[in-house]
Amino acid sequence: MDKFVVKDIILLSLILGIILGIFSPIPILGMVMLFIMLLLSAPIVMLYMIMDGKLDLTTTKDSIITGAISGFSSNFTFSITYCVVMAILANGFHYTTNFFLSAMITNSPIWLLLVFIIFLGVLCATTNAFSGFLTYYIINFIRDLYEKQHTKQ
């Protein structure tokens, strides 16, 4: 993979993580945003870059690496954004959507939060590597169907 493509993947993943982190303290949307971050951030970034013409997945290795980079990057900014927003809501407005997480964010030492963020980053990298792998096969399946249908005409 080209280093410019990796830079674009990281940049789009960081932006996606910030957007998901801002909307995740909303009680009903929080679980949906977490699900998107855990499983769907790689396919979203991959499909956007393919439609933009910046990414061409030629091997399964590229899709797995793209998914892992996207998952870790989006988790990193998601976690930092979520921690900042929850600290502001808990300390400034005395509002918490999840008492345990709010207490952990506001009262635990920073090294513990960093360890937790890195652990979740590895988890997100693994799950998004798998979803990137599935995205590669689904895209190739759709391409094969399209080619078979259009060669008959």
Query: What does the block give as tokens for 58?
Result: 């030629």
Sketch the domain layout of the chain as residue ranges: 3-151
Considering Cα of 29, then 101, then 124, then 81, what sign does the dihedral take?
A: positive
Closest CA to 148 of 140, 138, 135, 57: 140
Phi first, then psi: give them for residue 136, nearest 5 degrees: -60, -45
Q: Above pLDDT 70, what percent of the chain? A: 99
| pLDDT tens per residue, range 98-125 | 777 778 888 889 899 899 999 999 999 9
CA 115, chain centre distance (Å)? 18
89 pLDDT more than 80: yes
**Does the pTM exceed 0.85?**
yes
